[in-house]
Amino acid sequence: MFKHVFLTGPPGVGKTTLVQKACEALVSSGVGVEGFYTEEVREGGRRVGFDVVTMTGERGHLSRIRDVAGASHGRREYTVGQYVVDLPSFENLALPLFRNVGSAAGASRKVFVIDEIGKMELFSQSFIRSVRQTLDGSSCTILGTIPIPKGKPLGLVEEVRSRRDVKVFTVSKENRNAILQDILAALQDCLKHTA
Ligand SMILES: Nc1ncnc2c1ncn2[C@@H]1O[C@H](COP(=O)(O)OP(=O)(O)OP(=O)(O)O)[C@@H](O)[C@H]1O
């Protein structure tokens, strides 16, 4: 019996788009949706970083390329390739969402979106703890995304992938236009068991 649904697949294949379509359908059918997704930020045609966007429309930095990130002022820098992760900004926006969904009043018939559990997000130990708590919690269904394995295994990502209560869909260019109904069916099934 699955409790959570995760999408995986290569970068840019359409995971976030599917999460957004699934959320629209869930909201139309009366299911509450909370959480966040990440969105690339472009300036003058080039990608300058990523933002975290909550379901209620709040937005903050997740990362910026080095030349627009500003000076670190001696603070420890967390980087992924050319991107400098803005850990305080990410944590200020994302962590309160977990606290809310974890409360008894906020949890049932609700889907909590975590898009994504990736290298940048995993610099936050508080985020890792919050994800684990939500995965283990009794009444909330997660719709999340994880990257495909590449290079050094990412602890929490592999943990999620191998959990018996997580249904993982692998998104490809071939199936991305046909997989939404299967994702929604899996989520409805999860919700039946957590309601
Ligand atoms: N089914 C589709 N058909 C055509 N284009 C699509 C489709 N789904 C997504 N795209 C386009 O592909 C691009 C990447 O989509 P999206 O952000 O959903 O991918 P992603 O897998 O979440 O990427 P990332 O790994 O960077 O998070 C976007 O420009 C989006 O409009």
List, for residues 19-55, the tens digit of each pLDDT value. Answer: 999 999 999 999 999 999 999 999 999 999 999 999 9
pLDDT above 60: residue 106? no
pLDDT above 60: residue 63? yes
What pLDDT was estimated at residue 104?
55
Per the domain annotation, does 124 fall within a domain?
A: yes
Q: What average pLDDT score do residues 111-137 get? A: 95
Q: In which residue are the tokens 């949890």 written?
A: 107
Residue 65 token pair = 């390329």
Identify which of 6, 8, 13 to mutate to test ligand 1's pocket (most ligand atoms within 8 A of the CB): 13
Identify the DSSP state of 153: P
pLDDT above 90: residue 161? yes
Closest by CA position to 183, among listed 14, 68, 10, 44: 14
Average pLDDT, the chain: 91
Q: What are phi and psi of 128, to 5 degrees?
A: -60, -45
Q: Does residue 17's CB lie within 6 angstroms of at least one atom of ligand 1?
A: yes
What pLDDT was estimated at residue 193?
76
Per the domain annotation, does 80 fall within a domain?
A: no
Query: Could you give the number of structural domains in the chain?
Result: 1
Q: Does residue 12's CB lie within 6 angstroms of at least one atom of ligand 1?
A: yes
71 versus 32: the higher-pLDDT residue is: 32
Per the domain annotation, does 55 fall within a domain?
A: no
The whole-angstrom separation of Cα 135 and Cα 142 is 7
What is the CATH classification number for the domain harbouring 109? 3.40.50.300
Q: Does residue 13's CB lie within 6 angstroms of at least one atom of ligand 1?
A: yes
Strand ranges for 10-95 from DSSP E: 32-43, 46-54, 59-65, 79-80, 83-85
For residue 20, what are the domain limits?
4-38+88-194
Per the domain annotation, does 128 fall within a domain?
A: yes
Half-sphere exposure for 71 (CA within 13 Å, toward CB): 2
pLDDT tier at 57, thresholds 50, 70, 90: very high
Per the domain annotation, does 172 fall within a domain?
A: yes
Per the domain annotation, does 140 fall within a domain?
A: yes
Burial of 54 (0-12, 13-18, 19+ CB in 10 A): middle
